[in-house]
Amino acid sequence: MKIGRKEFIKTTAMLGTAGAMGLSGQRRSNAAEPGKSGSVDALKISFPRDGDVLNRHDGVEKADRLLLTVTGSMPPESKVLVNGIRARSANGTFSCDVPITRKTSKIVATTGDTSDEITVWWNKGSKKRFRFSVDDNIQFLKDLGLNPEKYNSLFDHWYLRFYRDMHKEFDAKVHLNIYYQTDGFNLAEMPDQWKEEWQD
């Protein structure tokens, strides 16, 4: 017997509703059971996060260690150890001062048979820095390549001279991403008269 499209949709909708009901006639819940992963009282490290790169702003940095205050959530009335150190607890949360002494470290919180583990990196002796890069460069190379007689040095070109001045004044390192070609020019046409400057 053929079933029409409307009847098919109606039937599957009814089956879906029935499947969502338990034998007691109550709807199933996707909420995690108390104490299971995903529930509000599960053991979980909230700071740092797994994969965090940590520096002096995240704790107290000494020559041989970074002292972190590890925090997280925990089941009620439980006792938590973090890397073997007894944690302080209050209102379903814990905190514990943990020293990080290596570039890559694991932080493990445990209570009973339950544990939560993360990996963090210590950016020791960090300082403010930046990466400066410029995309889509080709025009200055075209200027040089098609007019080599105008430039005794690469840095006679205003574009490269500007970045050299920034390097001299601020010790900036500039990364230039280039195209191979543009209208009327490609890198195969580049003369080698500035070869030593490129190598420097």
Q: Provide the pLDDT for residue 71.
A: 98
In a domain, 37, yes or no: no
The position carrying tokens 């470290």 is 105
Stronger pLDDT, 170 or 106, i.e. the higher one: 106
- Indicate if the pLDDT at residue 112 is higher than 50: yes
Percent of the residues in the chain that have a pLDDT greater than 70, as a whole number: 79
In a domain, 51, yes or no: yes
On whether the CB atoms of residues 111 and 84 are closer than 8 A, the answer is: no
- The domain tally of the chain equals 2
Q: Provide the pLDDT for residue 7.
A: 56
Q: Environment class of residue 72 by beta-carbon count within 10 Å: exposed (0-12), middle (13-18) or buried (19+)?
A: buried
Stronger pLDDT, 112 or 41, i.e. the higher one: 112
Residue where a domain terminates, one of 61, 87, 122: 122
- Indicate if the pLDDT at residue 113 is higher than 80: yes
In a domain, 187, yes or no: yes
Same domain, 142 and 184: yes
What CATH number does residue 88 fall under? 2.60.40.10
The total of other beta-carbon atoms located within 10 Å of residue 75's CB is: 17
Residue where a domain terminates, one of 60, 91, 122: 122
Which of 140-146's residues contact partners 24+ apart within 8 Å by CB, and which partners?
Answer: 141/178, 141/185, 141/187, 141/190, 142/182, 142/184, 142/185, 144/190, 144/194, 145/185, 145/187, 145/189, 145/190, 145/191, 146/184, 146/185, 146/189
Average pLDDT over the chain reads: 84
Same domain, 105 and 144: no
In a domain, 83, yes or no: yes
Separation CA 172–CA 169 (nearest Å): 8
Q: Provide the pLDDT for residue 31.
A: 34
Q: Provide the pLDDT for residue 41.
A: 67
On whether the CB atoms of residues 121 and 49 are closer than 8 A, the answer is: no
Separation CA 151–CA 114 (nearest Å): 70
- Indicate if the pLDDT at residue 160 is higher than 90: yes
Q: Work out whether the CA dihedral 148, 152, 154, 158 comes out positive or negative.
A: negative
Residue where a domain terminates, one of 122, 141, 159: 122
In tens, the pLDDT along 22-81 reads 333 333 333 333 334 444 569 999 999 999 999 999 999 999 999 999 999 999 989 999
In tens, the pLDDT along 89-104 reads 999 999 999 999 999 9
Same domain, 170 and 144: yes
Residue 157: give the domain boundaries.
132-199
User: Is-above-0.85 flag for pTM?
Assistant: no
In a domain, 31, yes or no: no
Separation CA 107–CA 84 (nearest Å): 10
